[in-house]
Structure 1
Amino acid sequence: MWYQKHIIISAKPRGFHLITEQIISALPQIRSLDVGLLNLFITHTSASLAINENADPTVRSDMEAHFNVLAPENAPYYRHTYEGPDDMPAHIKSVLLGASQTIPISKGKLALGTWQGIYLCEHRDHASERTLIATLQGE
């Protein structure tokens, strides 16, 4: 079985946001799969997807703080600056974290670890809604 769906995530402030439940709610087809894969792909260059800690919110704020050190705003060597000081750092963060995640499906559930959740990593100060393409494969 193959299934694909576009999932719209409402605009979020800059930071790391848990979207696991939103993904599961948008894809009830997961429950019908004994074994499979979910691929999530974000169709943007200034946001990304990650899997990490789902319990302690300080992990998400620490991730934001650390990535702001890795890709600071207003670096004097940036040439791509016409969309604002957060734009080039957003592209760098997106490349570092990536545009997709693949998650196993086992017995009708995402086979995430106990403390794992799916993050939308929003790297812009004033982002719009984000589009994910979810592709399910399995039986």
Structure 2
Amino acid sequence: MPWQKTFTLPEHTKGMHLVTKEVVKECEAGLKGVDIGIFTLHCLHTSAGLTINENCDSSVRTGMWCPIE
């Protein structure tokens, strides 16, 4: 059964931030009882982006950061 929710994440400083806990908390009701499916997360912010790093090690966050000079 399709499920949709719009929510706002807390404001963060410039950089990469883990938001998994916040996303799961906001989407708990829609994920309840789901064993398999497709999860689409859409970022409406014009200058933010999402990356998914399944099973990555902690160095991925620092290795991907490219500051604007």
Common fold, TM-score beyond 0.5? yes
Tell me, in whole angstroms, the C-alpha distance in 1 between the residues paired with 2:17 and 2:49.
Answer: 11
- 1:59–1:34 Cα change, 3 Å: closer
SS, match of residue 62 in structure 1 = helix
Structure 2 residue runs of 5 or longer lacking an equivalent are none
TM-score, scaled relative to structure 1: 0.43
Matches of 1:5 and 1:26, distance apart in 2: 8
The answer as to whether partners of 1:42 and 1:48 remain within 8 angstroms in 2 is yes
Higher strand share: 1
What percentage of aligned pairs have identical amino acids? Answer: 32
Partner of 2:3: 3
4+ runs of 1 displaced by more than 3 Å?
none
Q: How big is each residue's C-alpha offset from its partner over 1:76-108, in whole Å with a ceiling of 9 and x where there is no partner? A: xxxxxxxxxxxxxxxxxxxxxxxxxxxxxxxxx
Question: How many residues end up aligned between the 2 structures?
Answer: 66
Mark the structure with the bigger radius of gyration.
Answer: 1
Higher relative contact order (CA closer than 8 Å, sequence separation 6+): 1
CA distance in 2, matches of 1:39, 1:59: 22
Structure 1 runs not aligned, ≥5 long: 74-139
Superposed CA RMSD: 1.6
What's the TM-score once normalised by structure 2's chain length? 0.78
